[in-house]
Amino acid sequence: MATTRSESVSVASNDAVVIVRQRVREFAVDARLSLVDQTKLVTAASELARNMVVYGGGGTVLLEQLDMDGRPGVRVTFEDRGPGIADIEQAMRDGYTSGGGLGLGLGGSKRLVHEFVLQSELGKGTTIAITRWK
């Protein structure tokens, strides 16, 4: 698997979520994802970018154009240095929220992509990587 292009976006406030959506859309179009797949990836990225602002105090989003033996894909990695997630299983469950939201962000985003990798360490931060292949 090769990364053919990458870019990083700093996300400090809610307003930057819009920028993340636009950049992810651009990468998804370049990877020739179908319209529905683009929409799914952009929506998942929007959820996770907002989570990063609300719970992680902001962070960095890394966008990568991937190529796996000719099959294009896009990976988006969200990294924050927030408090971390104490109970990942609970956080992934639909309807669970610690911040007044709908509690669909993590579980919902996972359903919208092919790969979802979550790493979190208490007091250190959270990293979530999502990938959608063509």
Partner 1 sequence: MDRIPILRMGRFLLVTIQVDMHDRLALALQDDLTSCIVRYGAKGVLIDISSLEIVDSFMGRTIGNIAGMSRILDAETVVVGMRPAVAITLVELGLSLPGVRTALTVERGIGLLRGSLEGTIDGDNAQ
Query: Which residues contribute to the site for partner 1 (CB under 8 A)?
Result: 14-15, 17-18, 21-22, 25, 35-36, 38-40, 42-43, 46-47, 50, 94, 101-102, 104-105, 107-109, 111-112
Question: What six digits make up the tokens of 49?
Answer: 């970018």
Closer residue to partner 1 in complex, CB, 2/36: 36
CB of 91 to partner 1, least distance (A): 15
CB of 94 to partner 1, least distance (A): 5
CB of 6 to partner 1, least distance (A): 23
d(C-alpha 48, C-alpha 72), whole Å: 22
Question: What six digits make up the tokens of 94?
Answer: 């639909």
**Positive or negative: CA dihedral 32, 4, 128, 82:** negative
Residue 28: strand pairing partners = none
